Structure 1
Amino acid sequence: MYKRADAMVFQTPDAKKYFSGPRYKRITKTIIPNPVKPDLPEHVFEKDCHRFISACRLYEQKNIPMMIEAVRLLIEKGISCTLDIYGEGPLRSKLERMVQGYGLSKYIHLNHFTKEIHYEMTHGAAFVISSDYEGISNSMLEALCIGIPVIATDCPVGGARMYIKDGVNGYLVPCNNVCQLAEKMERVLVNREESEKIGMKAKELKNDLETNKIIQKWKSLVRYMIGAPDLAAPRG
């Protein structure tokens, strides 16, 4: 299909790099992210909150066992915490058995999908994403804009690193590194002052992802492609 395309739109710079060779030279390429909902609630900072939240499809790509293993390490270390995972998928039974096998049913809850996920995000210590690969996770963007600290794997194709600066407006960990994930989760619980600042900083992304601003990027691309004389090539 790309052979017939005049323009290609990507969500991340890493995805765009896949199409940087000579055969794609004639194609206009730009990066346009998804917008976030304008009416997202705001995170409620609670000093004594020890609840982690995740929302994802229950598929291999999401590497949910990494989160479960991280919680296991924290509990074994004597650190009080819980993990609420919201989502549907074919791995539910397997994950439930894993949780039960570790004796973590008291701490890890595999919840069904909820339309109230944004409300749930407002009452948590951090939002956790442990994907092996991901474009831009919409739930990650929403969590950042809500203001809950986000801990995400720095996975291909670079969606997390595009928006999260480690230790500034969120936390990044290497893929499949359970120990580092557990360390960042512990850091959120122990250093609550830092966590609050990181959540506040993350909310600044909301301004960049407003629906009208994203629509304007699409309009600019279309006008450029039809030859509007007042527009330069789209950036990104």
Structure 2
Amino acid sequence: MRILFVVPGMGYGGAERVISILSNAFVTKGDSVKIINFDKEGITAYHLNAKVDLYKLGNMNTKSLKSIVSFINNLRSMIKAYNPDVIISFINDVCAITALANIGLKYPLIYSERNDPRFINNSLKEKSYGFLVKSLTDGFVFQTNGAKNLYSKKVRNRSAVILNPIQMDAFPKCWQGEREKLIVSVGRLHPQKNQKLLIKAFSNIADAYPDYIMKIYGEGPLKQELINQIHELELSERIFLEGNVENILERIVSAEIFAYSSNYEGLPNALMEAMVLGIPCISTDCSPGGAAMLIENEKNGLLVPIEDELALTNGLDYLLKNKEAASRMGACAINLVNEVNEEHIVREWQSFIQRIMDKKRNKN
């Protein structure tokens, strides 16, 4: 099978990690995989098998109609030259451009929704992209039932809910013994992720737990505001912004708590990985239900309402005070691997791809 991914970039992020895992798995199984990347200057953050063909097409100049048409024509030529059995596109605007380039061609197109549609598709431009995606795409992959249910019945009938894969051979062993007096969080420094709430919640318990520190991994536009907040709370020696790191799992595996404070999300990769590592986890119940798909409250982690400082504060306090309960939740969370291991998720993708290909073939 010839599989073409069309993506906005291959830097650090949940979608990029999933694309790399799927691409590597597909070529290992004998498929041909090409990735067309719209970010010409960006890094490739995650390992790609040497058999994966990565091409950096570059960004589209949206201010010039001539440039837009030229970009779409170039993409169309590349699609035709590769002659894929299926095209898979991530992110609303990229899929819309891909759909335009694919008009009149025989290739089935699958869109993978990566976030909460209610928060990312609100501008006129994004709504226009969304219309093109819904009109010109053959199949949809959602991460949560909540996201799927926000779409029309026509879309739902040609869709599947598939969780993100975990690449277990890249995972360190679960931590044995006493955990570090450390609370960790991983995510882009962005208002969506609401690290401000997490920092405030930690500040509320900092005096009660003077030996504990917090490390937040990730980069983003909120960084300076977070630095200022940490300084104002006089916690510069207790809360650290660690940036992006390559060996993130090794950095967090020994932590006592993994905390996630997002307001909305697709399926939180970082939370999922922390759970599989057996770290006791607390997360906001972010829409459209990704965290709730992973965490059964008080069984394999804690769920608290979004933007609820008191609830997050109390949750952190509970996990630190009740180490036996926290350890039990962490041990239970490891079982999530049965649902998200790479082999299982890749089979689900293969099955859905075949379903969409067959449907497209019968339609033609």
* Cα distance in 1 for residues equivalent to 2:155 and 2:244: 40
1:50 maps to which of 172, 176, 181:
181
* Cα distance in 2 for residues equivalent to 1:164 and 1:43: 18
Q: For 2:180, what is the secondary structure of its paired residue?
A: coil
Give the % identical residues: 32
Write out per-residue CA displacement over residues 194-235 of structure 1, whole angstroms, 9 at most, x where no aligned residue. 11111111111112211111111112112333449xxxxxxx
1:79 maps to which of 209, 234, 249:
209
2:252 is matched with 121
TM-score, L = length of structure 2: 0.59
Give the alignment of 1:156-235 within 5 angstroms: 156-227=287-358
What stretches of structure 1 move > 6 A for 4+ residues in a row? none
Structure 1: unaligned runs, 5 residues or longer: 229-236
Q: CA deviation at 1:182?
A: 1.0
Q: For 1:61, what is the secondary structure of its paired residue?
A: coil
* Cα distance in 2 for residues equivalent to 1:156 and 1:138: 15
Q: CA deviation at 1:45?
A: 4.9
Aligned residues: 225
1:14 maps to which of 146, 158, 162:
146
Structure 2: unaligned runs, 5 residues or longer: 1-132, 360-364
Segment of structure 1 superposing worse, 67-76 or 40-49: 40-49
Q: For 1:50, what is the secondary structure of its paired residue?
A: strand
Contact 1:34–1:138 (8 Å) recurs in 2: yes
Contact 1:52–1:128 (8 Å) recurs in 2: yes
Contact 2:179–2:254 (8 Å) recurs in 1: no
* Cα distance in 2 for residues equivalent to 1:200 and 1:117: 20
2:162 maps to which of 26, 32, 41:
32
Q: CA deviation at 1:89?
A: 1.1
Determine which structure has greater relative contact order: mean sequence separation of CA pairs < 8 Å that are 6+ residues apart, divided by chain length: 1
* Cα distance in 2 for residues equivalent to 1:187 and 1:164: 16
Q: For 1:151, what is the secondary structure of its paired residue?
A: strand
User: Which has the higher Rg, Structure 1 or Structure 2?
Assistant: 2
